Each structure stands twice: as C-alpha cells, then as structure tokens.
Amino acid sequence: MITNNAKWLLVIINSNPFIQGNTRLQKYGLLVYGKEVLTKSEFFDDWRAGDFGGFSKQLMLTTDYLIREGYAASNPTVLSETITVNRYKLTDKGLSEIKEIEANQKDKVEKIKGLLGPYFKKSLDTVLDEIYTLFPQFTDKSRIKAKVSQTHTKNHSYLSPEFEIPIDNVAAEEILSDAVTAQPNDFVFNDEYFREKLAKSIGLAKAPKLDPKSFERLSGIISSKIKTKEFDSVDLVKSVRGC
C-alpha cells in the first residue's frame, strides 16, 4: 500500500511515454504543484530553491521508494560521453496501482496529462526556461541560472540595435521618477509578459505570485546605463536579466 502522494507521482511519471532525468521530473512536479490540480494532502508541498531550481526532497525520496518497490523503473540513459541520466517509466505494477485513481479521479488525471504532455518533445533547456520564468522565486540558488538565462534571452529576444529608439537623460529621469511606486521583483526571470503568456499556455488562470523586493536595484541599473554616452537597450536588458 502506498501513499496518495506516491500514487500521484506515478500519474505524473505516466503523463509522458517516459521522463528523462531527475531535473525534468522535479520540474514536472513543480508544475503540478503550481497549477494546484492537487490538494496539499495529495501532493508534496516542501518546494524550495535548489541547485537546479525548484526542488522537493519528498518527491526525490518517494521516487527512490517507488523504484525500490517495483512500481517504477529507472533506466540509465547515456546522453554524451560525460552525461548519463535516469529514464523513468512505470512498470506493470505501477500501472496497476493507478487504475483506481484513473477511474475515480479522471478529471485530475486528464489535467495532469494535458499540463505535462506537451513538455515531452521540448528540450530540457526550454523546459527549464519556462519553469524558471513561471517560478523565479525558486531560482536564486540555482547553479545553472546563467545558462538558463541565456536560453531565455535567446528564446524571447525581441530587441535589435537597428530598432534603437533614442532616449535622452531628461526623458529617462522623468520615466524613473514617475515609476517610484512600481513593485518589480529581484529575479532574473521576472518578465511579467512572458510569465503571463506561459501561465496561460499551460492552463494557469494567472502567473504565480511573487514577493516584491528590489525596485531600487533595477532603477539603479537603468540610471547608470542612461547616463553613459552610448545607450544600448539590448545591453540594458541583459544587465537587468543578469546575462
């Protein structure tokens, strides 16, 4: 007999033909948590900032348990000469275990499959970019934040030097003084436009809430940039995003 948390983790693993790697599995769990498809008693709620973004120790330990007990299989998969990851998939025992949930809570099962299914064909870089954008509060301790930030800038770049709009110091100072009541957040991936867009694309009513922190830092970066002789908006965006 396994817990409800473990059963729903089996459903998550079964949402794709297989799930390649611990990082991807953790991010899928975070998506389900953020989507609030499941109640706190049904799923893990110990999410914190880890080396690769949002991380749940309970999810990790439960995954190990499910493998030991034969509900799921973990097959090492060689991606390169230096990288080998675990490929997770349910066993017949695991598939049998979730039949009751699939029958009695079909709506929740379908929501999870609809949420996670599209990510199967996406690269890990893209998965990380989207999850970091949706949940930037879990990125502050990430060891790969700079790399994911580069992917984010590449995927969502819309600025080009040929479209530069001249800006003078007086106009810029007025913009800053008018914005003193704004409440942006001190996260590399805090781009509200893309956060809202991504949230809607995966079925969220709105992007997850963030705690406002450091508008002063943002305005300081902008002030220092506009006082230089050559103002480059591309360079400014990269500075703000931490690229």
| pLDDT, tens digit (0-9, with 9 covering 90-100), for 200-218 | 766 666 677 665 554 455 5
pLDDT digits (tens, 9 = 90+) for 124-177: 999 999 999 899 999 989 999 888 888 877 776 654 444 444 445 555 444 444
Question: DSSP class of residue 31?
Answer: H
pTM: 0.66
Task: Work out the angle between the directed axes of helices 233-241 and 215-226 (0-180°, nearest 10).
Answer: 150
Domain 4-120 has CATH 3.40.190.10: no
Q: What's at 239, amino acid-wise?
A: S
8 A C-beta contact, residue 230 and residue 166: no
Give the C-alpha separation, 96 to 242, whole Å: 47
37 has pLDDT over 80 = yes
Q: Where are the domains positioned within the chain?
A: 4-120, 145-241
Residue range 74-88, pLDDT digits in tens? 999 998 888 899 999
- Name the one residue in this structure whose structure tokens are 């590449």: 154
Distance of alpha carbon 185 from alpha carbon 191, whole angstroms: 9
Reference 182, options 219, 228, 229; nearest CA is 219
The structure tokens 């770049």 sit at: 157
**Hey, what are 70's tokens?**
């034969």
- The DSSP output letter for 208 is P
Report helix angle 215-226 to 169-178, nearest 10.
170
pLDDT band at 178; cut points 50, 70, 90: very low
33-47, 164-178, 224-238: the lowest-pLDDT one: 164-178
**Number of CB atoms found within 10 A of residue 85's CB:** 18
* Token duo for residue 65: 């348990």
d(CA 190, CA 128): 14
